[in-house]
Structure 1
Amino acid sequence: MTSRSSRATARPSSEGRAVARTQTLLPGKDGIGTVRRTTLPGGLRIVTETLPSVRSATFGIWAHVGSRDETPALNGATHYLEHLLFKGTHQRSALDISAAIDAVGGEMNAFTAKEYTCYYARVLDTDLPLAIDVVCDMLTGSLILDEDVDAERGVILEEIAMTEDDPGDVVHELFAQTMFGDTPLGRPVLGTVDTVNALSRGQIARFYKKHYDPTHLVVAAAGNVDHATVVRQVRRAFEKAGALTRTDAVPVAPRDGLRTLRAAGRVELLNRKTEQAHVVLGMPGLARTDERRWALGVLNTALGGGMSSRLFQEVREKRGLAYSVYSYTSGFADCGLFGVYAGCRPGQVHDVLKICRDELHKVASDGLTDDEIARAVGQLSGSTVLGLEDTGALMNRIGKSELCWGTQMSVDDMLDRIAAVTPDEVREVARDVLDQRPSLSVIGPLKDKQADRLHQAVS
């Protein structure tokens, strides 16, 4: 990603404090949509996007840590820690944390991914100081008590059980394992029953201390916010917790990955008594920094991104073989996935799989038509804008961009980049990605003969 402009100013020190550095990354129009970044001397980055016309604000803190940073013995520690930060600090109990946001009609939550974690609160603009104080307190002052670790263990085991009850979710975890094997990217974000049961309070506390240093954090706020005010309030909260003592600290660079090995032609089957068989067929995709990702996004939209897409038309509309069928992409720091999902009756798995494989082969060899590409460009452009219509989505965009790319791209620049994708670029990326030997993951009530045929299907 590239930023359209960058103007830096040094903020004068206050009461002898070290100087912060502020930059205007995107100027916006008449002050609307302006994105600014301030880097505090302790290495903490604060980015904001200002929208004076709304009455809400979303405040979040992004941590440069995900399940990819776990050893096998620590699998699930990132997500476990996410739960524990809501359990209480020196200032607030778990009830105090939730009650503070509930009392102003706000919402607060968090999510853990393979390469980052995010904690956020969405409130009325007038209640933003409260949200800042509560979320900053959680991130800097968590107690991680033994009794909370023990109590939350049961909650996480229930969450794992709930996920296991949804084969549509499990099949995607199975596909990651199929592609990446026993590596951090291949292991489940939630961990397993065995790893969660084995995690100790000491292990989680050390993980917290290592990965929640201010240099590993990005603060993001979007909505009716004033950048200088947000910076002042965040700085006060972190200094109060003693978290900005290293005045020479610098932020960690965006993750560059470890060149994870990816498998081809692997098949993983999970036999379960489900009403549907759940299928993911896919292959290596592109890293999130690959410039071809824009063309891949157009390809993905045309192939399986909507009701007019190839896969939807062929599998559902023409043949009625599935209710849900789509394609998707996942980009990581150094690699990616391209996958096709379908849920169908167990006896129709082979028909659905053949159609999907045939369509992937056709697009890889013959490409998409100009009309399909033009329609996909329009659909991707529209969904990009519509997906940024609330302050939560805007906070996610600027926070993730700062953490993963270190730069910001305006919505107009994104739309220009999508519009600039040519049919030749789409056809080239289709050959590069879709012409690879696929891997396959299936969950369902599979008979022995079916299993043998599925193994042969990707050979």
Structure 2
Amino acid sequence: MSARITTLPSGLRVVTDAMPHLETASLGVWIGAGSRHESRSEHGLSHLLEHMAFKGTKRRSARAIAEEIEAAGGDLNAATSTEHTAYYAHVLAEDAPLAVDILADILTESTFDKEELEREKGVILQEIGAVDDTPDDLVFDLFNATAFPGQPIGRPILGTPDQIASFGREAIGAYLDSHYASDATVIGAAGAIDHEQICDEVERRFSALAPRAAAAAAPAAVYQGGEIRLKRRLEQAHIVIGFEGLSYASEEFYALQVFANAVGGGMSSRLFQEVRETRGLAYSIHAFHWGYSDTGLFGFYAATSAKDVAELMPVALDCLAEAALSLSEDEARRAKAQMKVSLLTALESPSPRCEQIARQVMAFDRVLSREEIIGAIDRLDIADIRAAGAQALRSNPTVAAIGPVSKVPAPDRVAQRLRAS
């Protein structure tokens, strides 16, 4: 395995994977703090801080940051998730030191200019509005909040308009000080890179990043389930039906991933074939399984016309229930192949590979080899996969729907249908 890991004296971990046949490099900084690490009064700060990192430092204005990276032909971006915040760059091989310098600058020397802050808060308010206007995005926020009611893990990553409007520079600084620490950070690099050079640059540029005084553990997640319906005058009903899934650290995680792929992960899946191809009840339908550090969510999404909701829902639920009893070897084989192609694709491109190895070190404190992951997938037999699906379907259902939702079944009806199948 070509990946290498070095833990610097500060506790900051550097993981790289050299891909000698490439001429570009992807580098990123992954912070072990996302929306589920926020207190109620901090809701939305992780995402706001991500935005503000690009708005000026002691050495560079917001415009200078953009111009300097683009003058080298590179690009710079960031993303906030439930459990992590990431900042990353893609550059030519010779500009890897520049990428490290800019990433360190925005993460350790940002000034959080008051005018920039007010401007960016306005941008985020527009982003929140855009989600509210996009039902196929909003329904997943509602689903997550209903699955984990009253918990940080269930809150929307973007925050709320009132909360965002209330944040000042002091709140951002306090959150940065308590969560952005060397021992909660992984720096990844993949492509045309040299491990020792990256480590030297990181140790020099990130010297201001100190270890945490105390670990900021996120509250444990407690899946509950329930329902939420948002009636809107839309052409389609957007529906998510879900259940408790598995943590990515669970021994059965890959089994449920295979089950989700087999049931609704491609054009040959049961949901796609039965709901769309055979009956024409939906244009869009797919299953999913998201793993977090201590829990997960499994389910399916469908978008359909009001007149087809009543027929679609029992058909889709029967597909799930029957798969837990009768998923075939051929279906499992196809789903496994899809997963392996996805894994191997990430090994062939520097940006996905950089993200992959950084997330693995964040989660497991090591890089999982290709052989280890493929072996775990290949060792699954059909009984393992069916059992993982059956276990998920026994949990309390979560129902989220937007649009013409009167015929969407309540959670107790979902559970009854699954038991009767």
Asked if TM exceeds 0.5, the reply is: yes
Deviation at 1:170, TM superposition (A): 0.4
After superposition, residues 142-157 of structure 1 pair within 5 angstroms as 142-157=110-125
Q: Which amino acid aligns with 1:458?
A: V
SS across alignment from 2:206: helix
Deviation at 1:257, TM superposition (A): 5.6
Could you say which residue in structure 1 is the equivalent of 2:308? 348
In 1, the alpha carbon distance for the partners of 2:57 and 2:164 equals 23
CA contact (8 A) 2:36 2:218 kept: no
SS across alignment from 2:223: coil
In 2, the alpha carbon distance for the partners of 1:227 and 1:200 equals 39
Cα displacement string for residues 267-289 of structure 1 (whole angstroms, at most 9, x for unaligned residues): 10011122211000010000110
After superposition, residues 24-63 of structure 1 pair within 5 angstroms as 28=1, 34-63=2-31
Deviation at 1:133, TM superposition (A): 0.8
In 2, the alpha carbon distance for the partners of 1:223 and 1:117 equals 22
**Match of residue 139, structure 1, among 107, 112, 130:** 107
Q: Which amino acid aligns with 1:295?
A: A
> Could you say if the C-alpha distance between residues 89 and 163 of structure 1 is closer, same or farther in structure 2, counting changes exceeding 3 Å?
same
Could you say which residue in structure 2 is the equivalent of 1:12? none
**Match of residue 79, structure 2, among 106, 111, 128:** 111
**Match of residue 37, structure 2, among 69, 86, 96:** 69
In 2, the alpha carbon distance for the partners of 1:455 and 1:296 equals 21
After superposition, residues 100-249 of structure 1 pair within 5 angstroms as 100-239=68-207, 242-243=208-209, 249=211
Q: Which amino acid aligns with 2:102?
A: V
Q: Which amino acid aligns with 1:237?
A: R
In 2, the alpha carbon distance for the partners of 1:251 and 1:225 equals 33
**Match of residue 405, structure 1, among 364, 387, 390:** 364
In 1, the alpha carbon distance for the partners of 2:28 and 2:341 equals 26
In 2, the alpha carbon distance for the partners of 1:316 and 1:413 equals 36
Cα displacement string for residues 133-191 of structure 1 (whole angstroms, at most 9, x for unaligned residues): 11111111111122222111101101111111111000100100110012101110000
**Match of residue 252, structure 2, among 272, 275, 292:** 292
In 1, the alpha carbon distance for the partners of 2:191 and 2:81 equals 24
CA contact (8 A) 2:397 2:411 kept: no
In 1, the alpha carbon distance for the partners of 2:195 and 2:174 equals 33
**Match of residue 260, structure 1, among 213, 221, 233:** 221
Deviation at 1:233, TM superposition (A): 1.1
Deviation at 1:243, TM superposition (A): 3.4
CA contact (8 A) 2:17 2:190 kept: yes
Runs of 4+ aligned residues of structure 1 deviating over 4 Å after TM superposition are 249-253, 453-456
In 2, the alpha carbon distance for the partners of 1:270 and 1:201 equals 35
CA contact (8 A) 2:236 2:305 kept: yes
More helix by share: 2
Q: Which amino acid aligns with 1:36?
A: R
Could you say which residue in structure 1 is the equivalent of 2:374? 415
Q: Which amino acid aligns with 2:221?
A: T
Overall identity of the aligned pairs, in %: 38
Could you say which residue in structure 2 is the equivalent of 1:360? 320
Deviation at 1:436, TM superposition (A): 2.7
CA contact (8 A) 1:437 1:458 kept: no
In 2, the alpha carbon distance for the partners of 1:305 and 1:109 equals 28
In 2, the alpha carbon distance for the partners of 1:243 and 1:307 equals 47
Q: Which amino acid aligns with 2:80?
A: T
Could you say which residue in structure 2 is the equivalent of 1:270? 230
CA contact (8 A) 1:45 1:251 kept: no
Q: Which amino acid aligns with 2:235?
A: E
Cα displacement string for residues 389-439 of structure 1 (whole angstroms, at most 9, x for unaligned residues): 210000001111111221111122211211111111112112211233322
Deviation at 1:379, TM superposition (A): 2.1
> Could you say if the C-alpha distance between residues 146 and 257 of structure 1 is closer, same or farther in structure 2, counting changes exceeding 3 Å?
closer
Mean CA deviation greater in 155-164 or 375-384 = 375-384
Deviation at 1:388, TM superposition (A): 3.4
Could you say which residue in structure 2 is the equivalent of 1:441? 400
In 2, the alpha carbon distance for the partners of 1:256 and 1:134 equals 29
In 1, the alpha carbon distance for the partners of 2:113 and 2:178 equals 17
Could you say which residue in structure 2 is the equivalent of 1:10? none
SS across alignment from 1:344: strand
Equivalent pairs counted in the alignment come to 415
SS across alignment from 2:153: coil
In 2, the alpha carbon distance for the partners of 1:339 and 1:170 equals 16
> Could you say if the C-alpha distance between residues 67 and 103 of structure 1 is closer, same or farther in structure 2, counting changes exceeding 3 Å?
same
Could you say which residue in structure 2 is the equivalent of 1:282? 242
SS across alignment from 2:69: helix
CA contact (8 A) 1:257 1:333 kept: no
> Could you say if the C-alpha distance between residues 97 and 60 of structure 1 is closer, same or farther in structure 2, counting changes exceeding 3 Å?
same
Give TM-score, length-normalised by structure 2.
0.94
